[in-house]
Structure 1
């Protein structure tokens, strides 16, 4: 039998944590849920729920992370949750060994990828031009845009911004959406094979993807970390679209006009703030990976 080392939390304490967590998740998703319930698209926040396949129920479900046991009655639903087990003293805990038997490769890969990204200096000269490159020459060739929003500068104006700047996108999952005409303009040519070597903490989508890694780790990630990663991704997404070629004024948002010196300065200022927040989340994701690996080793 495994040694029971999980610290038991009494029911009143952990249920208060779970309730507060669900309330925070509801607040963070309120804008998207209102649009979704009304049958409306939300060009800014939909990305968080389509690209990352997010479910509100997943965000609302609180986990304490490895090493904690929760006092529960014998018929509590958590006892039937995947990768969980009874502790023998009236509690339920993450079964780290069972979890790693299925997800160990994912945990080790995410840990390595996130730690490697965190070890690099951020770069801050891309000015969000990846979104512009995704619609470059669309108007001229009659292609539909990625979002049902007008281009703030029109087709010709958008193309001129791309052609007049040095595009330096290092993120494969943005670069793969560049239009065929824009791909040769990128100073970098990231691939899936070079992803781990090229990811850097200054890039907006690298910060957003921390939410993806938190989702992949599932119950090994404490609830506050999951929501912090989601909130970071949501906040970054707003800048991503404000600095894009799309007109987002219909959402009450001002453009960050990266084609101007003032817009570039505003973009970099906010980009640096997100990079700092992202590095803190990276450290906590690495710690979560280490905690579940240690818990399995101690079992």
Structure 2
């Protein structure tokens, strides 16, 4: 087990906090003023990881922290005796314990299966972000998701949905389609069959790398969680720029996916995000496998 000295781990924790504060501080300021943001709030309203949780740094399983009593009471942690490196012989240090990793074996197995299946598929780039449009199809009948005007109006938005092939493979996007849009999707992904549908070109599959990463907290290093967070943050901007809403007042230039040029711009950006997501997905798979080597199958007596 690696042991980090107090000055060493505190410097890493401070660097992590400074990294995410660039995004967290504006969000917390808006929240204090009760100002909603349809783009940037998503990572904290849709996902369950709170700002304070994202801000707290973790070294991951296999590393102990010297002089870190506050960590001892956190989920997955305990104090253990170590005698490595500069540590005092028999000193107690805080670390994620093996029994906690073992308790997470079902989650680790589930995520490895999903991430491996997704990574093994050829990326698809023909969706053009139409999932957001399908969520407001005939919204005069079904209601809208955001209090922002539709860039093409309701009739124009409905025409885009009805004149395009929609092939959304991501259940957590598809489940928000309006009742009239659901039958228009060429795929019918379900809650329990994500490994059969997820593909690495999907923007939401890329954003969900952040969800998978924080669900593995505190067993994986926080730099990987922050990397996935930054990817999700950037993907969300494209997701909403290509959405049917008029967000010009917030400074977002639309990606006009109803046009040939807009489709080309969307696909180019989508390819870039798939390329950024691939190594992060590989790192998450490697972490699941590393941790599953610890979380052994129970032996029958």
Residue 114 (str. 1) matches residue 109 (str. 2): no
Match of 1:3 in 2: none
What SS does the corresponding residue of 1:88 show, helix, strand or coil? strand
Tell me how far apart the structure 2 counterparts of residues 35 and 241 of structure 1 sit (CA, whole Å). 19
Q: Report the Cα offset of residue 294 of structure 1.
A: 3.0
Tell me how far apart the structure 2 counterparts of residues 295 and 100 of structure 1 sit (CA, whole Å). 7
- Which of 58, 80, 94 lines up with 1:87 in the alignment? 80
Tell me how far apart the structure 2 counterparts of residues 250 and 35 of structure 1 sit (CA, whole Å). 16
Match of 2:31 in 1: 36
Tell me how far apart the structure 1 counterparts of residues 61 and 290 of structure 2 sit (CA, whole Å). 6
Tell me the number of residue pairs that the alignment of Structure 1 and Structure 2 aligns.
Answer: 287
Q: Over aligned residue pairs, what C-alpha RMSD do you find?
A: 1.3
What SS does the corresponding residue of 2:190 show, helix, strand or coil? coil
Tell me how far apart the structure 2 counterparts of residues 154 and 260 of structure 1 sit (CA, whole Å). 16
Q: Which runs of 5+ in 1 are unaligned?
A: 1-5
Match of 2:50 in 1: 55
Map 1:1-299 onto structure 2 (within 5 A): 6-72=1-67, 76-89=69-82, 90=91, 91-96=93-98, 98-139=99-140, 141=141, 143-296=142-295
What SS does the corresponding residue of 2:287 show, helix, strand or coil? helix
In the TM superposition, what whole-angstrom CA distance separates every residue of 1:200-251 from its partner, at most 9, and x where no partner exists?
0000000011111112111012110111111111111111100000011121
Tell me how far apart the structure 1 counterparts of residues 21 and 73 of structure 2 sit (CA, whole Å). 25
Q: Indicate if the aligned counterparts of 1:28 and 1:231 stay in contact, CA closer than 8 A.
A: no
Q: Indicate if the aligned counterparts of 1:45 and 1:234 stay in contact, CA closer than 8 A.
A: yes
Tell me how far apart the structure 1 counterparts of residues 27 and 223 of structure 2 sit (CA, whole Å). 20
Q: Indicate if the aligned counterparts of 2:102 and 2:294 stay in contact, CA closer than 8 A.
A: no
Q: Report the Cα offset of residue 178 of structure 1.
A: 0.6
Tell me how far apart the structure 2 counterparts of residues 290 and 61 of structure 1 sit (CA, whole Å). 24
User: TM-score, normalising length from structure 2?
Assistant: 0.92
Q: Report the Cα offset of residue 120 of structure 1.
A: 1.0
Tell me how far apart the structure 2 counterparts of residues 23 and 149 of structure 1 sit (CA, whole Å). 32
Tell me how far apart the structure 2 counterparts of residues 42 and 227 of structure 1 sit (CA, whole Å). 21
User: TM-score, normalising length from structure 1?
Assistant: 0.92
Tell me how far apart the structure 2 counterparts of residues 120 and 293 of structure 1 sit (CA, whole Å). 23
Tell me how far apart the structure 2 counterparts of residues 193 and 230 of structure 1 sit (CA, whole Å). 25
- More displaced 10-residue stretch of structure 1: 48-57 or 84-93: 84-93
- More displaced 10-residue stretch of structure 1: 117-126 or 44-53: 44-53
In the TM superposition, what whole-angstrom CA distance separates every residue of 1:164-202 from its partner, at most 9, and x where no partner exists?
110110111111111111111111111123311110000
Q: Report the Cα offset of residue 29 of structure 1.
A: 2.1
